[in-house]
Amino acid sequence: MSEHATRGGGHAEPPELEQLRSKVRSGEVDTIVVALTDMQGRLMGKRVQGQAFLDGVIDHGAHFCTYLLGTDMEMNTPDGYKLMNWETGYGDWVMEPVWSSLRYLPWLEKTAFVLSDTVDGETHAEIPISPRSILKRQFEKAQAMGLRPLAGSELEFYVLKDSFEEMHRKGYVGIETVGYYNEDYHLLQAAKLEPLYRQLRNQMVAARIPVEFSKGEAANSQHEINIHYSDVLEQADRTALFKHGAKEIAWQNGYGITFMAKPDHTWTGSSGHIHISLWSPDGETALFPEPGAQPHGMSAVMRQFLGGVMKYARELAVFIAPTVNSYKRYAVASWAPVNVTWGRDNRTTGFRIVGHGNGLHIEERLPGGDMNPYLAFAAVLGAGLRGIEQGIEPPAETKGNGYVATGCDRMPRALYEAIHVLEESRAAREIFGDDVIDHYLNYARVEQETYDAIVHPWDRARYLERG
């Protein structure tokens, strides 16, 4: 049966729902957060009183205004979206709970959390431009090809001395990190924030987000967490909720936290690496390794998947690096890649081949911490599946310093360049469909045009007196 709410009754309830009923009746849970992920990767939704949730949301879902999937970072309603605009009246769609995503959040009192798919309230069809639906399409395509994609996430972030409110009052100028020297693998410096990091690890695990490691990263107060691999759709769910929950936990402790790709031009960028591999449908047989195959024991399936993600990395950059700021992270010798290259255990390349035996997999190093996990995972999976379908072989391995590689693609230098290559891409439309590409092109153009219209502090510092 579907993992969604079943309308009309007559079917056994999912065990997650049976457990939730019991917790609400006992008073252990009194609030259920019903959430969707917007284009920017943020969680949006409603808090529902426990009994009201049992009485209504289970059968009918929770309504939300269509504009949530056609807005900008400031919640404005830009023109250019076919599915939601003033002419359509900005009606409602429905958040339909995905019961397998049900979690209990230890950092919020008596609170359960459930992610949703977004559907039309009349037809019950999924909304095609919803980030989760975009990834589901690629996941279902993989399944139809007899493939089971598994993925893991690495997320880097900064912990900031000021709270979100304090940074807002300061105009986001003079932001301070808590640490004051590079804490990459540094146990002493990281220990100063260990009470916070410990909460992040343990409370996320309690919420079924299995954080394996945390470690200092290559800057002051920069940290990294690793989320244990799972099916790609579940991993995107975990990643989206981790980013949201980390901000809530940091706020409760009086800190700010940011997954911004490049919070300051003098700081190391924050990455959002994606680890991915393909398996048999039952999850028993790894399809990437082939003993004795060249290079590095990579099977034809692995090579062709890698060939696809490399060939279309530039064309799908909007889905991997979604903001103006994303492209400021791509800097030479910065631990963020600039070239579309691959290498065995080589952190200077865009794609790093790691692991042995069944653990052999691809680490895509192009996304930043600001990625929308559903869109980034969908871009990787969609491009890789196309590589298998078309038998695309990757270019030769880059050995040595990938920053000085020649004869290879380079990631777009700015969002406007990423927009241009997406506009010209036939493959992107064949992977995602016209509805998705048109929608997200409009999103990217709105972002770029908004940035271009603003006078920034840099403009004044450079031109006010001397210009």
The reply to whether 109 and 154 lie within a common domain is: no
For residue 196, what pLDDT is reported? Answer: 96
pLDDT class of 7 with cuts at 50, 70, 90: very low
Tokens, residue 456: 């920034």
The reply to whether 142 and 168 lie within a common domain is: yes
- pLDDT digits 0-9 by tens, 148-203: 999 999 999 999 999 999 999 999 999 999 988 888 898 998 899 999 999 999 99
The reply to whether 275 and 346 lie within a common domain is: yes
> What CATH number has the domain bearing residue 72?
3.10.20.70
The reply to whether 267 and 416 lie within a common domain is: yes
Which CA distances in Å does 458 have to 69, 364, 462?
Answer: 32, 32, 6
The reply to whether 173 and 221 lie within a common domain is: yes
Residue 216 CB coordination number (10 Å): 23
pLDDT at 443 over 60: yes
The reply to whether 297 and 261 lie within a common domain is: yes
**Whether 222 contacts 216, CB under 8 Å:** yes
pLDDT at 458 over 70: yes
Question: Considering 79, 99, 127, which residue would you say is the last residue of a domain?
Answer: 127
Cβ-in-10-Å burial (0-12, 13-18, 19+) of 248 comes to middle
- pLDDT digits 0-9 by tens, 218-261: 889 999 999 999 999 999 999 999 999 999 999 999 999 999 99
The reply to whether 164 and 75 lie within a common domain is: no
Task: Report the distance separating Cα 392 and Cα 35, nearest Å.
Answer: 38
Task: Report the distance separating Cα 117 and Cα 139, nearest Å.
Answer: 14
Tokens, residue 445: 């153009």
Tokens, residue 288: 């990437």
The reply to whether 123 and 29 lie within a common domain is: yes
Range of the domain at 99: 15-127
Q: How many separate domains does the chain show?
A: 2
Q: Which residues contact 105 (CB under 8 A, 6 or more apart)?
A: 33, 111, 112, 113, 203, 207, 245
Instruction: With respect to residue 207, please indicate whether it lies within any of the assigned structural domains.
Output: yes
DSSP secondary structure string for all residues of 28-40: S--EEEEEEE-TT
Query: Could you tell me the sign of the dihedral formed by the alpha carbons of 431, 434, 435, 439, in that order?
Result: positive
pLDDT class of 8 with cuts at 50, 70, 90: very low
For residue 166, what pLDDT is reported? Answer: 95
